[in-house]
C-alpha cells in the first residue's frame, strides 16, 4: 500500500505544472482533461478544458493534481490536498474506506469507475481528505501512474 499526495489547484493545474517544470524540473507523466473522460455524466458543466487528473514526477516521487471542481468563490487559489491510498484489492479498498468514513464525511461513495474497479473520496473525522483507489497497472489511471 502507498500514500500519494493529490493537489487541487482550482483551475490552475496546467499553469502550476508549467511553473514546476521550469522551476524544479518536474516531468509530467499524465494529463487528462474533464472533456476527455469517457464518463460524460461525471463532467461538471463548463469544465471540459480543465484538468481532471494529472501526475508528475519530482525526483523519484509521483504527485497527482487536478483542477478539482473549480469553486468560483476560490478561483485561482490553491484549493487543498488529498492523500491517495492505493489499495491492492477491492476488498481492502472497501475496508479502508469504511474505516476512514467513521465519523467523517463521504464526498464520493466507493464505486467502480472507468479508471479503477473501486474509487471513493472521504474527509475523515479530522477533516483530512482521502481518496481510496484500487491499484491498477492501466496507463493513465490515477492508480497506475507510479
The CATH class for the domain spanning 2-144 reads alpha beta
Q: What is the pLDDT of residue 125?
A: 86
Tell how strand 129-134 and strand 80-87 pair up: parallel
* CA atoms of 126 and 19, how far apart (whole Å): 32
Question: Residue 61 contacts by C-beta under 8 Å, 6 or more apart in sequence?
Answer: none
Q: For the chain, where are the E strands, in sequence order? A: 2-8, 27-33, 51-58, 61-66, 80-87, 105-111, 119-123, 129-134
pLDDT in tens, the chain (146 residues): 788 899 988 888 999 999 899 988 899 999 999 999 998 887 878 889 999 999 999 888 899 999 987 766 666 666 678 888 888 999 999 999 999 998 999 999 999 999 999 999 998 887 878 999 998 775 555 555 54
What's the predicted TM-score (pTM) here?
A: 0.70
Question: How many beta carbons lie within 10 A of that of residue 105, not counting itself?
Answer: 12
Q: What is the pLDDT of residue 78?
A: 67
Q: What is the pLDDT of residue 79?
A: 65
Q: What is the pLDDT of residue 2?
A: 80
Question: Residue 64 contacts by C-beta under 8 Å, 6 or more apart in sequence?
Answer: 4, 5, 6, 7, 53, 54, 55, 84, 142, 145
Cell of 128: 483530512
Cα angle: 96, vertex 70, 111; to 5 degrees: 30
Q: What is the pLDDT of residue 111?
A: 96
Amino acid at each position: 500500500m502507498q500514500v500519494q499526495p493529490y493537489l487541487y489547484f482550482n483551475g490552475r493545474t496546467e499553469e502550476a505544472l508549467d511553473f514546476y517544470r521550469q522551476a524544479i524540473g518536474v516531468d509530467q507523466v499524465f494529463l487528462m482533461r474533464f472533456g476527455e473522460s469517457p464518463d460524460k455524466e461525471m463532467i461538471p458543466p463548463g469544465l471540459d478544458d480543465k484538468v481532471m487528473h494529472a501526475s508528475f514526477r519530482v525526483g523519484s516521487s509521483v504527485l497527482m493534481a487536478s483542477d478539482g471542481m473549480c469553486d468560483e468563490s476560490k478561483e485561482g487559489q490553491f484549493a487543498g490536498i488529498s492523500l491517495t491510498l492505493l489499495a491492492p484489492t477491492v476488498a481492502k479498498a472497501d475496508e479502508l474506506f469504511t474505516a476512514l468514513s467513521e465519523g467523517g464525511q463521504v464526498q464520493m461513495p466507493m464505486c467502480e469507475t472507468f479508471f479503477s474497479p473501486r474509487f471513493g473520496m472521504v474527509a475523515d473525522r479530522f477533516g483530512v481528505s482521502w481518496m481510496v483507489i484500487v491499484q491498477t497497472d492501466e496507463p493513465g489511471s490515477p492508480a497506475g501512474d507510479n
